[in-house]
Each structure stands twice: as C-alpha cells, then as structure tokens.
Structure 1
Amino acid sequence: MMAERPRLFRPLVQTVLHNSRAVAAVEFALLAPLFFALLFGVLQVGIYLQNYNAVQSVVADGVRIVMIEYQKDNELSDEQIRSVILARAVNAPYLLDTDRLIVNVDRSGGSRISGAAEIDIEIRYTLSDIVPGYELPGSTVTHERSIFVAS
C-alpha cells in the first residue's frame, strides 16, 4: 500500500508541473494572502497618518481661534472652546467622526507662567480598522496642547 501512494500522486504532480494554468493557480494561492496583507497594511498606515495629521491640525486651529478671541477680549468658556474644536473637526477638510472623537478642555491646573491662565486642550481620536474584528495596537491618536492667555 505504501508503494502505491507515490504512484497516485505522480500523475497529479506531473499535471500541475506541465499545466501553466495550474501553476498560476498555485502561485496565486501562495502569494495572494501576502499581497492582501501588505495592501491592507499600507491602507491602514495611510489612514492612521491622515487621522494623525488631522488631529494635530484641529488642535492647532482650535488654539489659533482661542488666541484670536482672547486678543479681541472675548473670553471663551471651556464648553465654547470644546464646541469650536468639535465643529472644526467634523467639517472639511478634516471630516473626523464625532462618535470616535473626544475633546477635553481643562483649566484646573495652576499656570506655569505668572499673570497668565493656562488652558489645556486634548483630543483623542479612535481610528477605524479596515479589517473588521482585528484591532491594531495604538489605534487611538492623542494630541495635547497648552494655551497661555492673559488672566
């Protein structure tokens, strides 16, 4: 029985070796998972970098708006600052998803500069995954910045 086993597979192996369609199918079966893993990985990195840049830019825009308002003697509350940043984040050009976006505005700590109030702004954004059910490590982008305004 053991001697017959190679004889059974020999015609199959010869067919695969001599048939170019069969060879292409085997090559595709071996390389397709690697190709798709690389494709999805590149897409996920691209989405991560776009969201990372968007979060940084939203914080910078929020800081800029708060500084301009304080220069016009228009003192904003924490909730007003938060709503300005959220409005900026969900509209073009950033288009971040509000369900995955957390904006914290905090004045509770003492200021590091005398005569100035320190406002801390932190944004956390959870990234969406391309492959459902597989969460990548580090899938939350966090950016924090402090504003010093005259008190």
Structure 2
Amino acid sequence: MKTLKSSIQDLLGNCTGATAVEFAMVAPLIFAAIFGTFEAGLALYERNRLQGACSAGAREILIAGASDDNAIEAAIRAQYKNPQQQDLSVVLATKTVSGEDFKEIQISYYHELIVGFGNALDGFTFTSTCYGRGV
C-alpha cells in the first residue's frame, strides 16, 4: 500500500499528458497569429483595390474628360470588380479651389472580417478619396 507522500511523488513525476497540455496552451496563440496575418493581408489587398478603383475614376475624368457622374461611377465599379457591388459607396462632389473646379471622388467599402469578434469587431470601413481636375 502506497503512502500519501509516495503517491504525490509519483503524480509529480508523471509527464504523460504534458505535451497535450502545452499544445492546448500555445495553440490559440499560434492560430491567432496565423488568422491575424491572413486577415491583415486580405485587408491590405482590399485597401489597394479600393485605391485602384478611386484612381480609375480620376483617370476617367482626366483622360476621357468625363463630367457625367454616372460614367465616372461606372468606371469605378468596373475597376473594383467585386461581387458585393452594393456594398461599395461612391460619393462624387464638385469642389472649387482658387477658381478651378475639381471632382472629389470618395469611395467607401465595409470589409467584414473572416473571423469576427462578435458585435464588438466584425469588420471595418475603408475609405479612399481622389481628386480629378478638368470638370
């Protein structure tokens, strides 16, 4: 019959489940780093696409001489090529600076996170602003 002291010594010396416990402690950090890296890359990609679409609108004003808001917005949406086109908000306004007219293009897009954090953080809004001269 074992004494209490020998049973405690046997328990402290037993390492059979140590690897599983260590993995359970470290795995959430590893997965958070992997998903965080993937999410950050996807967010940068979306931001770059939004800036490209804004530049396409400014290019339409400068090169094609478009002053019609519908033509400018069509060029922006054609460049963005997103299945959720309804999530893309395009606001066009005319600004006058030192007697010259500029067309301000402001595009907003709500980006949902792949792995959300409940109601606190499930996505964020990207906004890009460009100006086209020659209106």
Higher fraction of strand? 2
Mapped partners of 1:98, 1:7: distance in 2: 70
**Is 2:106–2:130's contact at 8 Å kept on the other side of the alignment?**
yes
Correspondence 1:139 to 2:130: no
Partner of 1:85: 76
Which structure exhibits the higher relative contact order, with contacts defined as CA atoms closer than 8 Å and separated by 6 or more residues?
2
Q: Which moved more, 1:129-138 or 1:31-40?
A: 129-138
Answer yes or no: is 1:26 the counterpart of 2:21. Answer: yes
Query: Corresponding residue for 1:67?
Result: 62
Superposition CA RMSD, Å: 2.5
TM-superposition CA deviations, 1:8-52 (whole Å, max 9, x none): 76554433x2x2xx2210111010011111111111111111111
User: With structure 1 as the length reference, what TM-score do the two structures score?
Assistant: 0.73
Instruction: Name the residue aligned to 1:149.
Output: 134
1:38 paired to 2:37: no
The one-letter amino acid of 1:146's match is Y
Where structure 1 has 5 or more consecutive residues not aligned to the other structure, the ranges are: none
- Aligned residue for 1:38, secondary structure, equals helix
Asked if the contact 2:59/2:132 (under 8 Å) is kept, the reply is no
TM-score by length of 2: 0.80
- In the other structure, the counterpart of 2:97 is 112
Work out the CA distance in 2 between the residues paired with 1:124 and 1:96.
Answer: 15
Counting aligned pairs with the same residue, the percent is 27
Unaligned runs of 5+ in 2: none
What is the letter of the counterpart of residue 106 of structure 1? Answer: A
